[in-house]
Structure 1
Amino acid sequence: MSKNERKTESIVRKHFEAFLDNIIIEEQSSDNPKIKKLLATASKNGLGVGFPEFIIQYKNNPDFLIVVECKADIIKHESSNRDKYRDFSVDGVLLYSSYLSKEFDVLSIAVSGETHTNKKVSHFLQVKGDKKATEIFSDKLLSADDYLNGYIKSPEKFRQDYEKLLTFSKDLNDKLHGQKIVESDRGLLISCILIALENKAFSKSYKDYSEPKQLAEYLVTTVKNEFQNGNIGDDKLLILTSRFAFIKTDTSLSKKDNVLRNIISDINENIKDFIKTHEYFDVLGQLYIEFLRYANSDKGLGIVLTPPHITEFMSEIAEVNKDSTVYDNCTGTGGFLVSAMNLMVKDAKGDQDKIKNIKKNQLVGVEYQAHIFALACSNMFIHQDGKSNILNGSCFDEDIVKEIKKFKPTVGLLNPPYKSDKKNDVDEYKFILNNLDCLEQGGKCVAIIPMQSALAQTGKVYEYKKKVLEQHTLEAVFSMPDELFFNSKVNVVSCIMVFTAKRPHPKNKKVYFGYYKNDGFVKRKTKGRVDLYRKFEKEIKENWITSYMNKEEKAGFSVTKVVFADDEWCAEAYMETDYSNLSKDDFERSIKDFVLFKGIYLNEISKD
């Protein structure tokens, strides 16, 4: 019996006609001149115009298209090499996508089969500028809203939006620099604007203010009212309003026509939507990192903001879930708490009461520096969470420790300030011990610190290592990429340590050591260190986590070893070399690493 492709088309047509309030369906060709031009050379035989079965546009999302190709015979769904464009539905729809994605984000749908019960459906997403399409969704036709939401929340869309954010953050930094707004105030200004834009009245009316001084007053007053309505407390409100007060007196912001108004508009157009779409990404932290890249006046204060992919990785290593209470005693801009919140909310699976409790009671932080504290509170406010549980002060203060312990934290995440003055600054292990002391017994603490702290075998740092093992269990140490903090313009080689709280380290316990030097990130001049090829997202992170969870031993990658306080806590000291992949370049690189190690780290340790 011959197959009838019209039956397949009828199935698709009837499916999408149910959503005509939101979409426009066209067949074979389009009235959109941009689409028409792109399909002008998209013929399956390479000789002319391409004619997809269906072209679907969203009325309120003009940058996103759906293109559909149909075949009656399931056997003709997909060829082995996807290069039989005339004969197979997957092959044909991906051809159209390759043309349309030059100007649009394209969801390609291949449908084969003549009946609802006997059909094949494949989906592919190719965002504008990408050379390849990525498989997405299940093998069933979904609603128009499901397609749109899936596209918006997809990793591909996030990467596209994130790259735009990086570009905008550089442009914004240049603009703020040109207006002589000091680096330490730039993050505060942006956070203030983002909070104000959450207020509907401000969002609608700020453009009506022609006098810059009045707009500056309106901006700060709006944010003060937002914090008051959030019951943040009088003491914290006083700190926050004092940190934002510079906006009312800054020469460029309060006296120059249109400067503040244009900055607000830029942020409204380029950042606000990103936060709404990717609600648990630490945007303020990322912007702050960008500001540090171009003018790191805070380096002397030991501020080293953890890259977002590492805060996420550490949260997963700590096994954060909906029932965790997470504590960061060196909160910074709040990056760890945002990443933890993301995992906790996902694990809550839509339980709104649980999500509300997570944001209100299960995220706790302490930040010493007032301007960073203001950023952290703002960041958490933007994410509609527990800003009331971030304290301003020293994490070593007895009253603060008592307050933190009331929350009964089960997970500790921290990136302590790195010592710039070896003699007078607080040691990183002291912050780790403080965090562990606040956790419930059996809680997990994951900290990222300089590698030299792991290598110490004598002196003050050794004494701290000894104290840690007397009171807590060392579970793992991961050697991190050498240039992990490249974007913060800080040259420090780091490691991540995993501890179990309040259980002394067993004498013969094997500790997992991972050589996690390759996270797949590459350096680009204007964007810094980025996951350009999505290696970390697609495979490396999962490999890191799985290897640790299973305590796998792999030559050149990981090893387990019984260690004591006077041992070096790093994979490099114990793991076997994987000779199968060695080259001359590897040998030369190792020699250079050794010389660097001997010349810098051993010298630093001897100073301690």
Structure 2
Amino acid sequence: MERYLYLISNTKSLTDFAENGALHYARTIVEKTNFKKIFAFGCSGDEKHHIIKPIYVDEQGYTILQSVENFQNFSAENIDRYYREQVLGETPVETLELEDILKKSGELHEALRNYGQLGDNEKPLVVSAILLALCNEDFKIETLTGDDKNTDGNKIFTALSYYMDKVEVTPSTKKEKVLAQFNLIKDRTILSQIDQRLQKTPLKYFTEYLQKNILATIKANSTEDILGRFYGEFIRFSGGDGQTLGVVLTPAHITELFCDLIELKSADRVFDPCCGTGGFLIAAMHKMISQADADQQESIKKNQLYGLEIREDMFSIATTNMILRGDGKSNLENFDFLKQNIETLREKKLTAGFMNPPYSQAKGKDTAHLSEIHFIKHLLDSLADGGRCVVIVPQSTMVGKSKEDKKVKEQILKTHTLEGVITLNKNTFYGIGTNPCIAVFTAHKPHAKNKYCKFVNFEDDGFVVSKHIGL
């Protein structure tokens, strides 16, 4: 690790004076000591309201950096990265990886459309099916020859089905539902016929591409929901945004933030009732496993992650996501959350609830029960006593869109506690146009009249919008 020296100049009011003083001392240290890389800080204000202005100083000069809230970036484990990104201007590794993933999703989108004539919702299913087949060690790409009788689609379908048996995907009804979504891999004739432009079948081309470019990244157990990214990108490339069905997938940094907000532990039982492609469950699994020994890790995967998803295609993608991360036994079910019995869910003793519910589905009296606040109440009612709940919803949800919603809010506070609301960056859902916030609750603990609820403005979250990528 590089050697850095920290220098702090403090004043209660004059920001410029604090910065000038810090800069003066830092220059003197560079000139007269062996320390040649200095982080100096001009601090002004008091404990509650303050400005911390970092200044980087070396023999070439100085750079005034963006203000920070605290000194966390300058700890021993974070300082090198901060220096590389903020001083040298290097692109973070995660951003480079994400840029590469999104580039590949664009290439894959074009191939699936041009060679497979696949629809928006079919593309991620074909990708999921092939990835599962590639996990089967007995499956060989060389066998994809365009045979008319035992087609390439049949070979891939057989391989993925065998692999699902091998990893013991349970219950059997779950496997059958997923396989039903993957039927198109063998039923779509064009996928298994040799395309003269490729000199091979589209399925062989897709399989080679995924093995070379994608499989290793997913199996490396990245916290990034790559299949979810593909799903979102396929929709975007086709000119949609997913909003017509309320589909707004959650960015990775938000799924990780959820885990941190409630200090998720290895003993928790996590529930996502609108799990989409599985982003929250993936983040929770990583957080919990990082705290667990080998025996407990197996229990986390098998017994402590629960998810519901109403859409068959997303349910299949979420199941694939978990299988690829070594968890074929996760408790994912293809059900409508709002129709699930509260007491039955309570029997699972769920201690943590994460949710990004469908947005803007309440269009009138007939659909009023589909508003985001109804999803929140149902989730809170489903959790164990003292369970922690984190949701991300449009800001309007927490204000109350209608008289009906305001009544539901009152009902929630009679039974549960609202701990805090966090206003997020307007570009959290890049390109969607939703102003989101996070709400944190404690379940089955009535909100006390003298309870202080925290309101946090986190719009300046330090993330920068990258074109075509988002935060």
Give the TM-score of the pair, scaled to structure 1.
0.60
- d(CA) in 2 for partners of 1:294, 1:366: 27
Q: Hey, what's the Cα distance between the residues in 1 that align with 2:262 and 2:433? A: 26
1:235 and 2:173 correspond? yes
Letter in 2 for 1:435: L
| 2: CA distance, partners of 1:463 / 1:231 | 42
The amino acid that maps onto 2:350 is P
Measure the CA separation in 2 of the matches of 1:194 and 1:485: 27
Q: Provide Cα deviations, 1:240-280, integer angstroms capped at 9, x if missing partner.
A: 11100011122442224331111111111111111233433
Larger Rg: 1
The equivalent residue for 2:314 is 372
Deviations 1:313-353 (A, max 9, x none): 112112211111100011111100001111101111xx110
> Which of these residues, 451, 462, 468, is aligned with residue 520 of structure 1?
462
Please say if residues 419 and 453 of structure 2, whose CA atoms lie closer than 8 Å, have aligned partners that are also in contact. yes
1:297 deviation in Å? 6.6
Would the aligned equivalents of 1:212 and 1:261 in 2 still touch at CA under 8 Å?
no
**Aligned residue number for residue 6 of structure 1:** none
Instruction: Please give the residue correspondences for 1:115-194 in structure 2 after superposition, counting only pairs within 5 Å.
Output: 132=88, 156-179=92-115, 180-194=117-131
- Answering whether residue 226 of structure 2 is matched by residue 270 of structure 1, we say no
Deviation at 1:397, TM superposition (A): 3.0
Does structure 2 retain, via aligned residues, the 8 Å contact 1:212–1:258? no
Q: Deviations over 1:393-438 (max 9, x none)?
A: 1113345x55533321100000011124421431111111111122
CA–CA distance in 2 between the matches of 1:196 and 1:462? Answer: 49
Mapped pair 1:208 → 2:143: yes
Contact 2:144 2:155 in 1 (8 A): no
For residue 463 of structure 1, the aligned residue among 407, 414, 430 is: 407
CA contact (8 A) 1:220 1:248 kept: yes
Would you say the 8 A contact 1:478–1:513 is kept in 2? yes
Confirm whether residue 258 of structure 1 aligns to residue 214 of structure 2. Answer: no
Per mean C-alpha deviation after superposition, the further-off stretch among 191-200 and 339-348 is 191-200
The two structures, once aligned, show a CA RMSD in angstroms of 2.9
Change (3 A) 1:81 1:504: closer
* In 2, Cα distance between equivalents of 1:418 and 1:272: 32
The aligned amino acid for 1:206 is I
What amino acid does structure 1 have at the position aligned with 2:322? M
Number of residue equivalences: 389
Give the SS at the match of 2:453: strand
Deviation at 1:131, TM superposition (A): 8.6
Residues of 2 paired with 1:172 and 1:385: CA distance? 26
Secondary structure of 1:504's counterpart equals coil
Q: Whole-Å Cα distance in 2 between the matches of residues 386 and 441 of structure 1?
A: 29
Match of 2:447 in 1: 505
Q: Distance in 1 between matches of 2:469 and 2:94?
A: 18
Q: Can you list the C-alpha shifts for 1:208-241, whole angstroms capped at 9, x where unaligned?
A: 3211662211111111222223142221122111
After superposition, where does 1:191-340 map in structure 2 within 5 Å?
191-202=128-139, 205-211=140-146, 214-229=151-166, 230-255=168-193, 256=195, 257-295=200-238, 296=240, 298-340=242-284
Aligned-pair CA distance for 1:290: 1.5
d(CA) in 1 for partners of 2:124 and 2:226?
10
SS of 2:264's equivalent? coil
Distance 1:508 1:316 in 2: 26
- Which segment is superposed worse, 270-279 or 258-267? 270-279
Contact 2:278 2:318 in 1 (8 A): yes
**Matched residue, 2:23:** none
Q: Secondary structure at the match of 1:513?
A: strand
The runs of 5 or more residues in structure 2 that have no matched partner are 1-32, 39-57, 59-78
Q: 1-side partners of 2:244 and 2:413: how far apart?
A: 31
Contact 1:124 1:133 in 2 (8 A): no
Pair 1:393–1:195, CA change in 2 (3 A)? same
SS of residue in 2 equivalent to 1:495: strand
Give the corresponding residue for 2:334.
392
Offset at 1:497? 0.5
CA-CA distance at 1:516 after TM superposition = 1.3
Counterpart CA distance in 1 for 2:426 and 2:86 is 29
After superposition, residues 56-67 of structure 1 pair within 5 angstroms as none
Match of 1:50 in 2: none
Give, in whole Å, the separation in 2 of the partners of 1:182 and 1:361.
35
Secondary structure of residue in 1 paired with 2:175: helix
Unpaired stretches in structure 1, ≥5 consecutive residues: 1-76, 83-90, 92-122, 135-154, 531-608
Instruction: Please tell me whether the aligned partners of residues 280 and 383 of structure 1 are also in contact (alpha carbons under 8 angstroms).
Output: no
Distance 1:455 1:504 in 2: 19
For the residues of structure 2 that align with 1:366 and 1:264, how far apart are their CA atoms?
29
Displacement after TM superposition at 1:386 (Å): 5.5
Deviation at 1:508, TM superposition (A): 1.4
Residue among 425, 432, 447 paired with 1:481: 425
Q: Which residue of 1 aligns with 2:305?
A: 363
User: Which stretch shifts more, 422-431 or 373-382?
Assistant: 422-431
User: Is the partner of 2:274 in helix, strand or coil?
Assistant: coil
- CA 1:131–1:173 in structure 2 vs 1: closer, same or farther (change >3 Å)? farther
Matches of 2:121 and 2:348 in 1, distance apart? 31
Q: Deviations over 1:518-563 (max 9, x none)?
A: 23333343x3313xxxxxxxxxxxxxxxxxxxxxxxxxxxxxxxxx
Native 8 Å contact 2:125 2:317 kept in 1: yes
In structure 2, give the amino acid aligned to 1:343.
Answer: K
- Does structure 2 retain, via aligned residues, the 8 Å contact 1:477–1:514? yes
CA contact (8 A) 2:345 2:382 kept: yes
Report the equivalent of 2:72. Answer: none
SS at match of 1:225: helix
Kept after mapping to 2: 8 A contact 1:447/1:498: yes
